[in-house]
Amino acid sequence: MAGKEKGKKEKKKVEEITFYNKDIFEVPEDGSPPFIKAWKCNQCGRLWFPRTKYCTNPECWSEDLVPVPLSRIGKIYTCIDIYIGAPGFKTPYVWGYVDLPEGIRVPTTFAGEVKSFEIGDEVEVIAAPIRKNNSGEDIISWKFKKVS
Ligand SMILES: [Zn+2]
């Protein structure tokens, strides 16, 4: 058992994330609302999500990509109530995809009760704990809640 204890301590030295993911999600420090980011190619103008190192348009391949904020409100493309969840996720929860006006489809969990979301519902991005890391701390990321 001593070996197991040691293993646990070593694991804690690994830096656990508490935020996911600065490349594609931003919570402004001035208190303004959080938003998801796409990466815009300055050569051909296409948007990419999540971030890529270079534009994957086969007629472009530019490495000149810049982050752009996406709309905070979109529509549910699909969703499902989850009762047996991914590790670290408190069940039950609602999972699915949201379509944003820029043509970006974002995977997400939803803030709210199961059986309360439907395809086509208008939803808004928020910052919220999505699950615990290995140290038991919250990992903050985006979720979508119903527009009230
Ligand atoms: Zn491009």
Give the residues across from 76 on adjacent strands.
98
Q: Report CA(123)–ligand 1 centroid distance (Å).
A: 30
Q: What's the pLDDT score for residue 89?
A: 86
Across residues 126-130, what is the average pLDDT?
95
Side chain identity at residue 29, one-letter code: E
pLDDT at 13 over 80: no
- Are 34 and 71 a contacting pair, CB within 8 Å? no
Q: Give me the chain's average pLDDT, please.
A: 91
Structure-token match 């508490």, residue found = 18
Ligand 1 center from residue 63 Cα (angstroms): 8
What is the SS3 assignment for 11?
helix
pLDDT digits (tens, 9 = 90+) for 25-58: 999 999 999 999 999 999 999 999 999 999 999 9
Closest CA to 24 of 47, 51, 43, 58: 51
5 Cα: distance to centroid of ligand 1 (angstroms):
50
Quick one: which of 24, 15, 48, 50 has its CA closest to 127? 24
> pLDDT of 73-101, one tens digit each?
999 999 999 999 888 888 999 999 999 99
Q: What percent of the chain has pLDDT over 70?
A: 91
Task: Give the sign of the dihedral formed by CA 29, CA 26, CA 89, CA 95.
Answer: positive
